[in-house]
Each structure stands twice: as structure tokens, then as C-alpha cells.
Amino acid sequence: MEAVLSALQVLLSVVVIVLILLHSGKDAGLSGAFGVGAGGGRFGGGALLERNLTRWTIAFGILFVLNVILLLKI
């Protein structure tokens, strides 16, 4: 069980890091390369995509914290 949770923790860590890097900052950093901060596009407006990216980041962040708590309990 601990091995499965540890592997899940590594996966969640990578996903959270990637999601955070995709957020647009002052200079649109890595997100500019993928068009996240751009205006209208194939996936809808930039604000909608940014809002969904924020929701995914929060959801995976919560999963990350819950997994840490489970790992500490074992």
C-alpha cells in the first residue's frame, strides 16, 4: 500500500508542477509557449482556459495534500 501511495505522490508532484508552470505570469512564461494566456483560440477564450487551469491546479493540489496525509498515517 505504501509503495502505491508513494508512486502516486511522485505522479501528483509532477502534475502539480506542470500545472503551476502553465499558469501565465507577468511575462507569460511557459504558458505563452502553449497559448494558455492567448486570447481566443481553439479551446475558447483565454480567461476560460485560465480559470479551468486554476481549477485543475487546486484539485490536484488537494489530492497531493491528502496523499501526503495518508502517507504520514501509514
3-class DSSP assignment, residue 28 = coil
Helix (H, G, I), strand (E, B) or coil at 27: coil
Domain contains 73: yes
Q: Is residue 43 one of the residues assigned to a domain? A: yes
pLDDT digits (tens, 9 = 90+) for 7-16: 999 999 999 9
Residue located via cell numbers 502553449: 34
**Structural domain count of the chain:** 1
The pTM (predicted TM-score) of the whole model is: 0.73
Is the residue at 2 inside a domain?
Answer: no
Q: Give the pLDDT of residue 45.
A: 61
What is the residue range of 71's domain?
38-74
**What secondary structure letter does DSSP report for 24?**
-
Kindly tell me if the per-residue pLDDT of 40 is higher than 60: no
29: in domain: no
pLDDT score for 60? 98
Looking at the domain assignment, is residue 23 inside a domain? no
Can you say whether the dihedral through the CA atoms of 61, 62, 67, 72 is positive or negative? positive
Q: Determine the average pLDDT of the residues in 53-61.
A: 96
66 within a domain of the structure (yes/no): yes
